[in-house]
Chains A and B, each alone.
Chain A
Amino acid sequence: MSVVKSVTCPVCGCLCDDIELTVEDGKVTHVRKGCAMCESKFLNYVSEHRVKTPLVRKDGKLVPTSYEDAIHKSAEILANAKYPILYGWSSTDCEAQRIGVELAEEVGGVLDNTAVVCHGPSIIGVQEAGIPTSTLGQIRHRADLIIYWGCDPWSAHPRHLERYTAFTDGRFEDSEWMSYINKVKASVGKKKLSSVKRRSFQCETEYEKISDNKPPVDLNKEGRKLVVVDVRESMTAKVADYFVQVKPGKDYEIMAAIRSIVNEEELDVDEVGGVPVEYLEEIVDTMVNAKFGVIFFGMGLTQSAGKFRNIELAISLTRDLNRRTKFVILPMRGHFNVTGANTVFTWQSGYPYAIDFSLGYPKYNPGETTCVDVLLREQSDAALVIASDPVSNFPRKAAEHLVKNPLIVIDPHMNVTSMVGDVVFPSAVVGVEKAGTAYRMDHVPLPLKKVVEPPEGLLSDEEILRRIVEDVRVIKSQKKEAN
């Protein structure tokens, strides 16, 4: 038995690098310091859902084959395709992503990563307006106002609050954990009282009325302040000092109103997007009086009406706030190395995602070269999917076209895309069985550890891709000679 310390967790964009794993007989048996998702990953990487050998579809069924056969079949599919898609990349290491760019250029395909259905609009927003940002370390030590807008880190980035924001002891700001515990104790007392009242008087349950945003009284407290803006009361909203419940699709309006108040303009209305203007004014007072404020934003802004315009406005608001105090803004990146995919693609091609190599040079035009749009227009004729699950995560019509054409899948586990794939490669789990590099959501690169050996004979994503590139080159040179 051995304990491996300071392991980087390969699940979400937090990339927590303090995980401790107990390894017995070449298997992880115990996880310390990780969240529920981290534990699930480290304890289930060798489950029955692991693909043990490459598979190819024959007579409608996936049957085992060798790596050589699967690599050759994949190379043939890609070399013969006119407009293939190479999609995914966010749950693998930068080393594999680099080979991916090489392969996309070689086959003249569309190279896209999961940002397209995640923070793609954030990237466009940043390209429009720039980004005043910082690392999570700065935020941990200095931020006294934390705003989560359209995101629920308690569910999607469970240790974000504990490691980087409200519930961490920074050098200049203290953790608000105890104040949260006291709040929970008080609310338990209130619940008991109301339960006794209900039973004693046998009155009907009074269901909480919606969207009556309460006055932001807790924003007057000392210490770090936590504000959550969302359409529903998420778990993060539950722990916040103030929760602003917005009507769906009204984020842009509310943010524009806040920006106007920051810029000392008068609003002619009493309410914006379901929130009274006087409450917005109090929020702005808190923002302007903060020493170091931060806005974290998520899918609530990128996937709802307005999309990249929401982000552009959030960045403009941050810029305006910087005239009055210090404010930064960060996207809550989902997959553990989606930031790495954007970074590697940018180094190699000049563009972060949605890169079309079909003309022999990289072209980027979101809406045209984005993977979902290519699929909806039914233009692609083959696809390679790696380290992601688009059949699970794309709208049905886009997934239908993906499945209709030859589909190559590289993933350690049998995910939904693998189930309908034509060539399926098992690979070593990056960050567990393969060392590499990943970028945290604030663009800090961190090393991923190899904790255990992969099952015998299993190749890494990087190696599989390298062999496919080599085979594609051979097929292309043979075709050239034949012509």
Chain B
Amino acid sequence: MVKQKLKVTLLTGRTIEQGVGKEAGKATQGYFESTTMAYMDICDMKKLGIKNKSNIMVTTPNGSVVLRAVKHPRGAMPGMIYIPYGPWANSIVSNETTSTGMPSFKGTPAEVEAAPDTHVSTLKELLKSQFGK
């Protein structure tokens, strides 16, 4: 069976949990939990056949990352996926600075698919795979 993929616009940004996590420490469980999730619209989650807090793979031209899909708690945001700032989000965001110095942290086209059998990389695993350190 061909896995269903959904085309979305990737947005990265702040959440209060990420803010609290970064102040507590980048190696804390709180920071990990708050930056390895992705807010999605409930209708988009239904289209992919995934449940709240199940794993998804987000792919952009810059790479792929496995995260937990979480239902956006307020209003609707179809066609968008919102990942809190952090090493996981930044492993797939666009490099394009359009000669302004600012990478395109919001607005990168991405694809989302269900990834029930893969696990979310820990910070150590992510750093090892990206930088070998």
Q: Please determine whether B23 and A44 come into contact, CB atoms closer than 8 angstroms.
A: yes
Q: Please determine whether B91 and A372 come into contact, CB atoms closer than 8 angstroms.
A: no
**Chain B 102-118: CB-based contact to A (< 8 A → 1; otherwise 0):** 11111100000000000
Q: Is A208 an interface residue (CB 8 A)?
A: yes
Q: Please determine whether A395 and B16 come into contact, CB atoms closer than 8 angstroms.
A: no
Cα distance, A60 to B11, chains bound together (Å): 35
Q: How far is the CB of B59 from chain A (nearest CB, A)?
A: 13
Q: Which residues of A contact B102 (CB under 8 A)?
A: 116-117, 120-121, 302-303, 307-308, 370, 372
Q: Which residues of B contact A366 (CB under 8 A)?
A: 99-101
Question: What are the 8 A-B residue pairs with the smallest beta carbon separation, nearest first?
Answer: A370-B101, A233-B75, A367-B99, A49-B25, A210-B76, A40-B23, A303-B105, A156-B14
Are A354 and B101 also in contact (CB < 8 A) when A40-B20, A152-B14, A413-B26 are?
Answer: yes
Cα distance, A395 to B20, chains bound together (Å): 22
B100 to chain A: closest residue by CB: A307
A212 to chain B: closest residue by CB: B76
Cα distance, A16 to B28, chains bound together (Å): 26
Q: Please determine whether A399 and B76 come into contact, CB atoms closer than 8 angstroms.
A: no
Q: Please determine whether A419 and B101 come into contact, CB atoms closer than 8 angstroms.
A: no
**Chain B 36-77: CB-based contact to A (< 8 A → 1; otherwise 0):** 000101110000000000000000001100000000101111
Q: Please determine whether A47 and B24 come into contact, CB atoms closer than 8 angstroms.
A: yes
Q: Please determine whether A397 and B100 come into contact, CB atoms closer than 8 angstroms.
A: no
Q: Which residues of B contact A367 (CB under 8 A)?
A: 97-101
Q: How far is the CB of B75 from chain A (nearest CB, A)?
A: 3
Are A36 and B20 also in contact (CB < 8 A) when A155-B14, A232-B82, A419-B133 are?
Answer: yes
Are A40 and B131 also in contact (CB < 8 A) when A210-B41, A232-B77, A392-B86 are?
Answer: no
Q: Is A373 an interface residue (CB 8 A)?
A: yes
Q: Which of A12, A152, A392 contacts B26 (CB 8 A)?
A: A392
Cα distance, A275 to B78, chains bound together (Å): 16
Q: Please determine whether A248 and B76 come into contact, CB atoms closer than 8 angstroms.
A: no
Q: Which of A155, A156, A233, A396 contacts B62 (CB 8 A)?
A: A396
Cα distance, A305 to B105, chains bound together (Å): 10
Are A395 and B86 also in contact (CB < 8 A) when A37-B23, A234-B74, A414-B25 are?
Answer: no
Q: Please determine whether A208 and B76 come into contact, CB atoms closer than 8 angstroms.
A: yes
Q: Please determine whether A394 and B76 come into contact, CB atoms closer than 8 angstroms.
A: no
Q: Is A339 an interface residue (CB 8 A)?
A: no
A-B contact pairs, 15 of them (CB 8 A): A37-B16, A41-B23, A121-B100, A154-B16, A155-B16, A208-B76, A231-B11, A232-B72, A237-B74, A371-B101, A393-B85, A394-B103, A403-B133, A415-B26, A419-B123
B15 to chain A: closest residue by CB: A155
**Chain A 386-418: CB-based contact to B (< 8 A → 1; otherwise 0):** 000101111111111001000000000111100
Q: Which residues of A contact B97 (CB under 8 A)?
A: 367, 370, 372-373, 376
Q: Please determine whether A210 and B77 come into contact, CB atoms closer than 8 angstroms.
A: yes
Q: Please determine whether B90 and A399 come into contact, CB atoms closer than 8 angstroms.
A: yes
Q: Which residues does A use to contact B, with CB under 8 Å?
A: 11-12, 36-37, 40-41, 44, 47-49, 60, 116-117, 120-121, 124, 152, 154-156, 158, 207-211, 231-235, 237-238, 245, 248-249, 299-300, 302-305, 307-308, 354, 366-368, 370-373, 376, 389, 391-400, 403, 413-416, 419-420
Cα distance, A242 to B14, chains bound together (Å): 21
Q: How far is the CB of B47 from chain A (nearest CB, A)?
A: 12
Q: Please determine whether A248 and B80 come into contact, CB atoms closer than 8 angstroms.
A: yes
Q: How far is the CB of B28 from chain A (nearest CB, A)?
A: 7
Q: Please determine whether A400 and B72 come into contact, CB atoms closer than 8 angstroms.
A: no
Q: Which residues of B contact A154 (CB under 8 A)?
A: 16
Cα distance, A388 to B76, chains bound together (Å): 34
Q: Which of B15, B104, B123, B130 contacts A303 (CB 8 A)?
A: B104
Q: Which residues of A contact B99 (CB under 8 A)?
A: 366-368, 373
Cα distance, A305 to B96, chains bound together (Å): 11
Q: Is B94 an interface residue (CB 8 A)?
A: yes
Residue picked from A120, A372, A416, most chain B C-beta under 10 Å: A416
A248 to chain B: closest residue by CB: B9
Q: Please determine whether B24 and A396 come into contact, CB atoms closer than 8 angstroms.
A: no
Q: Please determine whether A396 and B130 come into contact, CB atoms closer than 8 angstroms.
A: yes
Cα distance, A249 to B80, chains bound together (Å): 12
B92 to chain A: closest residue by CB: A396
Q: How far is the CB of B89 from chain A (nearest CB, A)?
A: 9
Q: Please determine whether A420 and B127 come into contact, CB atoms closer than 8 angstroms.
A: yes
Q: Please determine whether A395 and B94 come into contact, CB atoms closer than 8 angstroms.
A: yes
Cα distance, A185 to B62, chains bound together (Å): 45
Q: How far is the CB of B27 from chain A (nearest CB, A)?
A: 5
Cα distance, A121 to B97, chains bound together (Å): 11
Q: Which residues of B contact A234 (CB under 8 A)?
A: 74
Cα distance, A233 to B27, chains bound together (Å): 29
Are A248 and B11 also in contact (CB < 8 A) when A232-B77, A238-B74, A394-B90 are?
Answer: yes
Known pairs A37-B16, A367-B100 / 12 extra A-B pairs, C-beta < 8 Å:
A37-B23, A40-B19, A47-B25, A49-B28, A116-B101, A156-B19, A231-B11, A302-B102, A303-B12, A304-B107, A367-B98, A376-B95
B85 to chain A: closest residue by CB: A393
Are A299 and B26 also in contact (CB < 8 A) when A124-B100, A209-B76, A398-B95 are?
Answer: no
Q: Which residues of A contact B92 (CB under 8 A)?
A: 396
Q: How far is the CB of B90 from chain A (nearest CB, A)?
A: 6
Q: Please determine whether B130 and A37 come into contact, CB atoms closer than 8 angstroms.
A: no
